[in-house]
């Protein structure tokens, strides 16, 4: 499959549009939740705790959601259902800002979001197969990050002028457009067998084997998951905590400042996703993921010592580098490691589960540290935790590099080669 045939395949533009509009739907009100609850009188510890509850719920269901995607022959319908569920969950916040209602909303949003990640990866794999996956998924992520930029910018401006209600209205509009986009993808354009990682007649030998046995016997996948868990344990709390720290210190407009933090990171992620597509072809997956692990400790240092409005630029730029590269490299590597097993989307879900474990614990941990010891100490400790990712990735480099593929392998497999 060459680059030309991949780029002209029916439905790919609708797939990219789906990723653009889905950016605002997946997060619900996302990072705006922290400042929304802060305005209602919530403390940093309570905000972190309710975010953790939602993260844990999503973590529990992500693996089974991946299995559902593997088994489903109507992946478009699953995206529609999950989108509607997310929007209804966000609406619960307007019923009451009580802890029980907010926790319920976060749990529902997390459960719906758990299906969206594997679904989008599975649809992409089913449309372009393994040879075109790295490039197309990179294009998807460029669209997704661009959607985050536009969505956050509009949310900030509308929230500043009309209040947080406008942020919810915007999420509904993006949700409707997401549903329209997924329905524009022809059902026949998605090969359900290829979407599971099965392409040749020899593939599928592991399909009858328990999916979890396949996952637990893939050592490189386990190392990847462990490194990502530590990364997200340190990373996930940085943005909401930094927003709270700067708003508390400078009394800036909460919606506008939060939007700025998102826009800066997402703009960098657009560029990072484009760079990741090239680096995967020239350097391979191992090096790209290593770069993401290097960015977070530096981000923690800057966040700790630059709690000022202009500090959002370096702090969120580094978030953009790490998250932007990972958003392309990690799903691509999982698809590579599990090619031919028939359990690719279970693998995507399992890795997201472990990432979710770290991410769900991070807000509670960061919030408690910030409340007890201050924001600066919280940023330093979160950045230090992330050093564990580097230890794992470098310590097992001899096992990981062959599984990740060499630069020559990456070039040979790319449709751009």
Answer for the pair 179, 19: CB distance below 8 angstroms, yes or no.
no
Tell me how far apart the terminal alpha carbons of the chain are, to the nearest angstrom. Answer: 10
Q: What is the pLDDT of residue 123?
A: 95
Which residues are within 8 A (CB) of 295 and not within 5 positions of it... i.e. 6 or more apart? 318, 319, 321, 322
| Residue 120 reports pLDDT greater than 70 | yes
Q: Cα separation of 325 and 18, whole Å?
A: 20
Q: What is the pLDDT of residue 415?
A: 46
pLDDT tier at 204, thresholds 50, 70, 90: low
| Residue 412 reports pLDDT greater than 70 | no
- Closest by CA to 358, choosing from 233, 268, 239, 238, is 233
Task: Please say whether the dihedral angle defined by the alpha carbons of residues 396, 399, 400 and 401, taken in this order, is positive or negative.
Answer: positive
The answer to which of 30-39, 60-69, 143-152, 361-370 has the lowest mean pLDDT is 30-39
Can you tell me the mean pLDDT for 43-50? 77
The answer to which of 131-135, 208-212, 219-223 has the lowest mean pLDDT is 208-212
Q: Does the residue 227 lie in any domain?
A: yes
Can you tell me the mean pLDDT for 122-148? 90
Most confident of 16-30, 156-170, 377-391: 377-391
Q: 114-139: string of b/e by CB count within 10 Å (b at 16+)? A: bbbbbbbbbbbbbbbbbbbbbbbbbb
Q: Does the residue 385 lie in any domain?
A: yes
pLDDT tier at 334, thresholds 50, 70, 90: very high
| Residue 42 reports pLDDT greater than 60 | yes
3-state SS, the chain, equals CCHHHHHCCCCHHHHHHHHHHHHHHHCCCCCHHHHHHHHCCCCHHHHHHHHHHHHHHHHHHHHHHHHHHHHCCCHHHHHHHHHHHHHHHHHHHHHCCCHHHHHHHHHHHHHHHHHHHHHHHHHHHHHHHHHHHHHHHHHHHHHHHHHHHHHHHHHHHHHHHHCCHHHHHHHHHHHHHHHHHHHCCCHHHCCHHHHCCCCCCCCCCCCCCCHHHHHHCCHHHHHHHHHHHHHHHHHCCHHHHHHHHHHHHHCCCHHHHHHHHHHHHHHHHHHHHHHHHHHHHHCCHHHHHHHHHHHHHHHHHHHHHCCCHHHHHHHHHHHHHHHHHHHHHHHHHHHHHCCCCCCHHHHHHHHHHHHHHHHHHHHHHHHHHHHHHCHHHHHHHHHHHCHHHHHHHHHCHHHHHHHHCCHHHHHHHCCCC
Q: What is the pLDDT of residue 58?
A: 78
* Residue span of the structural domain in which 263 resides: 10-186+209-413
395 CB neighbour count, 10 Å cutoff: 12
| CATH number of residue 86's parent domain | 1.20.1250.20
Answer for the pair 4, 129: CB distance below 8 angstroms, yes or no.
no
State how many domains the chain has.
1
388 CB neighbour count, 10 Å cutoff: 17
| Residue 258 reports pLDDT greater than 80 | no
Q: Cα separation of 57 and 69, whole Å?
A: 18
Task: Please say whether the dihedral angle defined by the alpha carbons of residues 195, 200, 201 and 204, taken in this order, is positive or negative.
Answer: negative
pLDDT tier at 4, thresholds 50, 70, 90: very low
pLDDT tier at 358, thresholds 50, 70, 90: confident
| Residue 103 reports pLDDT greater than 50 | yes
Q: Cα separation of 9 and 376, whole Å?
A: 50
Q: What is the pLDDT of residues 222-253, one digit of tens each?
A: 999 999 999 999 998 887 788 778 777 664 56
Q: Does the residue 384 lie in any domain?
A: yes
Q: What is the pLDDT of residues 13-24, one digit of tens each?
A: 999 999 999 877
Q: What is the pLDDT of residue 33?
A: 74
CA torsion 243→149→154→28, rounded to 10°? -70
Q: Does the residue 180 lie in any domain?
A: yes
Answer for the pair 44, 379: CB distance below 8 angstroms, yes or no.
no
Q: What is the pLDDT of residues 158-175, one digit of tens each?
A: 877 887 778 788 888 988
Q: Does the residue 78 lie in any domain?
A: yes
Q: What is the pLDDT of residue 360?
A: 76
Q: Does the residue 363 lie in any domain?
A: yes
Q: Cα separation of 358 and 228, whole Å?
A: 8
Q: Does the residue 241 lie in any domain?
A: yes
Q: Does the residue 195 lie in any domain?
A: no
Can you tell me the mean pLDDT for 59-77? 88
| Residue 40 reports pLDDT greater than 50 | yes
pTM of model > 0.85? no
């Amino acid at each position: 499959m060459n680059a030309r045939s991949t780029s002209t395949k029916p439905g790919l533009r609708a797939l990219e549009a789906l990723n653009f509009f889905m950016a605002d739907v997946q997060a619900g009100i996302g990072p705006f939740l922290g400042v929304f609850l802060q305005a209602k009188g919530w403390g940093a510890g309570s905000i972190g705790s309710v975010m953790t509850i939602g993260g844990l719920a999503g973590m529990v269901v992500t693996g089974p959601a991946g299995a559902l995607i593997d088994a489903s022959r109507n992946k478009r319908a699953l995206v529609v259902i999950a989108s509607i569920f997310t929007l209804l969950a966000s609406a619960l916040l307007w019923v009451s800002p009580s802890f029980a209602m907010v926790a319920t909303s976060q749990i529902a949003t997390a459960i719906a979001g758990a299906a969206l990640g594997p679904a989008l990866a599975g649809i992409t794999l089913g449309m372009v197969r393994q040879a075109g996956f790295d490039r197309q998924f990179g294009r998807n992520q460029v669209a997704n990050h661009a959607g985050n930029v536009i969505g956050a910018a509009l949310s900030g401006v509308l929230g500043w002028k009309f209040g947080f209600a406008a942020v919810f209205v915007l999420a509904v509009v993006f949700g409707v457009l997401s549903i329209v986009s997924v329905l524009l993808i022809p059902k026949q354009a998605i090969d359900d067998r290829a979407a599971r990682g099965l392409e040749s007649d020899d593939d599928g030998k592991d399909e009858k084997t328990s999916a979890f046995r396949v996952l637990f016997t893939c050592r490189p996948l386990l190392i990847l998951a462990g490194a990502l868990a530590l990364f997200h344990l340190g990373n996930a709390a940085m943005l909401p905590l930094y927003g709270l720290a700067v708003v508390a210190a400078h009394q800036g407009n909460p919606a506008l400042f939060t939007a700025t933090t998102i826009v800066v990171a997402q703009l960098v992620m657009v560029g990072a996703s484009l760079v990741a597509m090239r680096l995967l072809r020239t350097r391979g997956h191992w090096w790209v993921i290593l770069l993401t692990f290097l960015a977070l400790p530096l981000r923690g240092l800057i966040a700790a010592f630059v709690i000022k409005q202009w500090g959002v630029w370096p702090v969120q730029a580094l978030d953009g580098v790490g998250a932007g590269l990972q958003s392309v490299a990690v799903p691509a590597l999982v698809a590579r490691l599990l090619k031919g097993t028939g359990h690719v989307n279970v693998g995507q879900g399992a890795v997201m589960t472990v990432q979710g474990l770290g991410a769900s614990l991070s807000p509670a941990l960061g919030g408690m540290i910030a409340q007890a010891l201050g924001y600066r100490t919280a940023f330093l400790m979160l950045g230090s935790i992330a050093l564990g990712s580097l230890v794992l990735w470098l310590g097992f480099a001899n096992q990981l590099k062959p599984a990740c593929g060499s630069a020559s392998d990456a070039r040979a497999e790319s449709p751009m080669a």
